């Protein structure tokens, strides 16, 4: 069974600090997706990582993918309150017909 594990599940951080969210997965897929979800809202695509070593950055967020370690990281630099949300990583299912999500990381940035 394909598993996607995120840690931490809850992260409370001060504004201006840096932190990393980790996503481990059990499949041999070389594609990984990061989504953001605000309370009561839909899933907003942040990053699509398509190959080993892929690194993408958008503002204060940077995502990377190591397919050999089956690990993706989402690094937050100098956090601001607006980044408070739940962040999900997801991988393709075995036949590419679905996404399998991690449990999500609830991020709270305190001012």
Partner 1 sequence: EPEVTQTPSHQVTQMGQEVILRCVPISNHLYFYWYRQILGQKVEFLVSFYNNEISEKSEIFDDQFSVERPDGSNFTLKIRSTKLEDSAMYFCASSETSGGFYEQYFGPGTRLTVT
- The contact set with partner 1 (CB under 8 A) reads 31, 33, 35, 40-43, 45, 48, 50, 88, 90, 92-93, 95-104
Q: Which is nearer to partner 1, 82 or 96 (CB)?
A: 96
Please, what is the minimum distance in Å from the beta carbon of residue 51 to partner 1? Answer: 11
Residue among 79, 63, 82 nearest 71 (CA): 63
b/e per residue, 89-111, with b = 16+ CB within 10 A? bbbbeeeeeebbebebbbbebee
CB-wise, 41 or 110, nearer to partner 1? 41
């Amino acid at each position: 069974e394909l598993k996607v594990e995120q840690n931490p599940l809850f992260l409370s951080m001060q504004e201006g600090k840096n932190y990393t969210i980790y996503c481990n997965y059990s499949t041999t897929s070389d594609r990984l997706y990061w989504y953001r979800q605000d309370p009561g809202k839909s899933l907003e695509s942040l990053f699509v990582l398509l190959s080993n070593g892929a690194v993408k950055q958008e503002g204060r967020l940077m995502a990377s993918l190591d397919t050999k370690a089956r690990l993706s990281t989402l690094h937050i630099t100098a956090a601001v309150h607006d980044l408070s949300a739940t962040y999900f990583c997801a991988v393709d299912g075995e036949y590419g017909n679905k996404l399998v999500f991690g449990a999500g990381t609830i991020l709270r940035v305190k001012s």
